Structures are given as structure tokens and as C-alpha cells.
């Protein structure tokens, strides 16, 4: 990293260490990312959100969420490596709406998995979360592309499970795009429900960095500003969970 990015990184690490979360404005996040790699395929990265599949597991609550999912792994001092496609699983302890089931989503497109932007984001997360953590032997990493859609008749719910933890160690929530929507405010709570902070991701690369052990997070429903026009919120969520090395 350059000196400016090093300073940003140290300040953010201190914020997450002190309060369990940090909000990062897009310009600042861009500086941190380009210190780690390139964003040369950003336009194609953004466009890939136009090709997500409906989240059929939410059919009972509405058809407002589209998503794709990918899994990676990394040693503490090694590269981030894609893993074979697999189910996303959360226990009921962390997801009372859809816990204790294996949820299979369409995979993130190979061009995104292998593209410069996602690799740079993952490289940043690996370094940043690795500095915060008790040394991990290996990371289990999951990547989620989400599009939350809103209509005049139905608000989009970015977190239909409510304020929650993900059951991991660390979380990055990165805004990719938003169009014709109001609200979508991220709220951070202590385990006893006390509001610790709130902010709205409004510009590309606005981000939240979260220590999942210490705080809960949620997002308020989004509603369209102009009825009859497309209205959506596109985010990338990256989670890091420390796992033990397999024997042998």
C-alpha cells in the first residue's frame, strides 16, 4: 500500500476494533482498493448485476431479491482461491427466516470470479480482516451478489430476516449501484438491541466493514422514488470465517 492508503487502513482498523464496525465513503474505499490491485473491469462487474437469478427461497415473502453466490478459501498468508460451487448454509441461530437449510444459488459468473475487480476486493478483505483477527489458519470466504428490487406496490427488503449477525467473523457490504430508490439505511446494533450507528450507502463503493461477533446489522426497506420506473439496490457482500486446517 502507499502511505495514504496505509493511513486510511490503520484508521479503519482502529474504528472496527473500537466499535465493531466502520462506514467507508466510496472515494476512500476506491483508494484502499487500488492500493491492492486494479478495477479495470468495473463496468462489466456492475453490469453482471443485471444477470442475477431470483432468490426462490424468499418466494413466501415476495420476489424482490435476486442473487448469485461463490465460495473461496485462503490461507492466512496465501492467495484467495476459488472453490467448487457449494450451498450457502446458516443455522437458525443466525437466520430465523431461512436457517438450517442448504440454499443453492446460481454461481457467480466465471468472468466476475476471475475478473480484476472482485480479485482486488478479496485481496483487500484478506489483508484487512487478517490484521484484525487472531491469526487464522485458513479462511472460508463467501461472496454474494444481491439485487433488491422495489415497486410502487411492494417495498424491497434488503434484510428480510431483520437485524442479524451472519454467523461469520467479518463482513464487507459494498454498494455497487442504486437506482430510483429511497431509504436502504444500514443500522448497526449491539447484541442487546441498542442502536450504535446508521448510514446509507448511496454512492458506488460506499462500504461497511463489520465485526460479526460484536454487532448486529440490518437495512431498512427500499421504496421507489418514481413509480413505474426500475428501482433497485445492488450490493456485494463478502464474508470471512476462520476455519481450522484439515488434518493431513
pTM: 0.90
pLDDT at 122 (0 to 100): 98
Of 29-33, 99-103, 222-226, the poorest mean pLDDT is in 99-103
Q: Name the residue with higher pLDDT: 134 or 70.
A: 70
Q: Count CA within 13 A, CB hemisphere, residue 69.
A: 17
Q: Rounded to an integer, what distance in angstroms lies between the CA atom of residue 62 and that of residue 223?
A: 14
Q: How far apart are the first and last CA of the chain?
A: 35
CA angle (171 as vertex; 89, 57 as ends), nearest 5: 35
76-90, 132-146, 170-184: which has the highest mean pLDDT? Answer: 170-184
Of 47-51, 86-90, 175-179, the poorest mean pLDDT is in 86-90
pLDDT at 101 (0 to 100): 77
pLDDT at 162 (0 to 100): 79
Average pLDDT, the chain: 89
pLDDT at 228 (0 to 100): 86
pLDDT in tens, 147-167: 999 988 888 887 777 788 999
pLDDT at 71 (0 to 100): 97
27 exposure class (CB count in 10 Å sphere: 0-12, 13-18, 19+): exposed
The length of the chain in residues reads 248
pLDDT at 248 (0 to 100): 38
Of 98-102, 153-157, 226-230, the poorest mean pLDDT is in 98-102
Of 58-62, 93-97, 106-110, 199-203, the poorest mean pLDDT is in 93-97
Residue 141, strand partner residues: 72, 240
CA angle (118 as vertex; 10, 58 as ends), nearest 5: 105
pLDDT at 63 (0 to 100): 64
pLDDT above 90: percentage of residues in the chain: 71
Q: Which residues lie closer than 8 Å to 246 by C-beta, 6 or more apart?
A: none
**CATH class of the domain comprising 3-55+62-243:** mainly beta
Asked if pLDDT for residue 100 goes beyond 80, the answer is: no
Largest CA distance in the chain: 58
pLDDT at 235 (0 to 100): 98
What nine digits make up the cell of 146?
444481491
| Cβ atoms 144, 236 nearer than 8 A | yes
Domains of the chain, residue spans? 3-55+62-243
Asked if pLDDT for residue 33 goes beyond 60, the answer is: yes
pLDDT at 72 (0 to 100): 98
Amino acid at each position: 500500500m502507499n502511505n495514504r492508503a496505509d493511513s486510511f487502513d490503520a484508521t479503519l482498523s482502529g474504528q472496527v476494533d473500537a466499535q465493531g464496525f466502520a462506514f467507508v465513503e466510496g472515494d476512500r474505499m476506491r483508494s484502499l482498493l487500488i492500493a491492492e490491485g486494479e478495477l479495470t473491469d468495473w463496468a462489466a462487474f456492475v453490469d453482471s448485476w443485471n444477470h442475477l437469478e431470483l432468490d426462490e427461497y424468499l418466494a413466501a415473502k415476495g420476489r424482490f431479491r435476486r442473487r448469485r453466490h461463490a465460495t473461496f478459501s485462503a490461507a492466512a498468508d496465501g492467495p484467495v482461491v476459488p472453490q467448487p460451487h457449494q450451498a450457502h448454509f446458516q443455522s437458525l441461530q443466525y437466520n430465523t427466516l431461512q436457517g438450517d437449510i442448504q440454499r443453492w444459488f446460481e454461481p457467480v459468473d466465471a468472468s466476475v470470479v476471475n475478473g480484476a475487480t472482485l480479485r482486488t476486493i478479496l485481496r483487500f478483505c484478506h489483508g484487512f480482516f487478517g490484521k484484525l483477527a487472531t491469526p487464522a489458519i485458513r479462511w472460508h470466504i463467501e461472496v454474494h451478489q444481491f439485487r433488491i428490487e422495489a415497486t410502487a406496490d411492494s417495498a424491497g427488503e434488503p434484510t428480510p430476516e431483520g437485524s442479524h449477525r451472519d454467523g461469520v467473523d467479518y463482513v464487507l457490504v459494498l454498494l455497487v449501484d442504486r437506482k430510483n430508490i429511497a431509504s436502504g439505511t444500514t443500522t448497526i446494533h449491539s447484541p442487546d438491541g441498542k442502536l450504535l450507528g446508521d448510514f446509507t450507502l448511496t454512492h458506488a463503493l460506499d462500504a461497511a466493514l463489520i465485526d460479526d461477533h460484536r454487532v448486529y446489522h440490518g437495512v431498512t426497506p427500499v421504496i421507489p422514488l418514481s413509480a413505474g420506473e426500475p428501482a433497485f439496490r445492488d450490493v456485494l457482500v463478502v464474508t470471512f470465517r476462520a476455519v481450522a486446517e484439515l488434518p493431513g
